[in-house]
Amino acid sequence: MASFKIVATVGALATLAACVETSGETTAQMPVMPGGPTFTEGSFAASDAATKSCRDALVARTDGSSVRVVGSRQTEGGNAVSMRVGDNGAPWLCFVGADGSNPSVEFQGSDSFQ
């Protein structure tokens, strides 16, 4: 009887394991508009105040779903902070003072994204 319970338990576990989805599908990132301002990913040079100010401005402008800061760089007038929004990674760029003042967000996506 004990061996039957072990076999039944192993069978039940195998059935549950088969229910785990492992499709591995990923959503493509929306490309950045060709010829636009430099969109920086993977390098972070802006201050924490500038980054927070830009992120807050973009959350307020969009529905706030999954805004991710993906990079930043220093500019002549302050900082440029690159962000991606949503499942498709829509690219947005924010120009902001080094101290976080006057954030201005702009969509940088390409209309040709399929």
* Mean pLDDT along residues 82-101: 95
Q: Is residue 114 part of a domain?
A: no
How many structural domains compose the chain? 1
Question: For residue 61, is it within any domain?
Answer: yes
Domain span at residue 57 reads 26-107
Does 21 reside within a domain? no
Give me the percent of the chain exceeding a pLDDT of 90: 60
Please choose, from the candidates 29, 94, 88, 109, the residue with its C-alpha nearest in 3D space to the C-alpha of residue 56.
Answer: 94
Q: Is residue 6 part of a domain?
A: no
Task: Give the sheet arrangement for strand 78-85, strand by strand.
Answer: 67-75, 78-85, 90-96, 104-107
Residue 3 lies in a domain: no
pLDDT tens digits, one per residue of 6-27: 444 434 433 333 333 334 455 6
What confidence tier does 110 reach under pLDDT thresholds 50, 70, 90?
Answer: confident
Give the 3-state secondary structure of residue 10. helix
Q: Is residue 97 part of a domain?
A: yes
Question: Taking the CA of residue 45 as centre, how many other CA atoms within 13 Å lie in the half-sphere pointing to its CB?
Answer: 13
Beta pairing, strands 67-75 & 78-85? antiparallel
pLDDT of residue 49: 96
Distance CA 67, CA 57 (A): 10
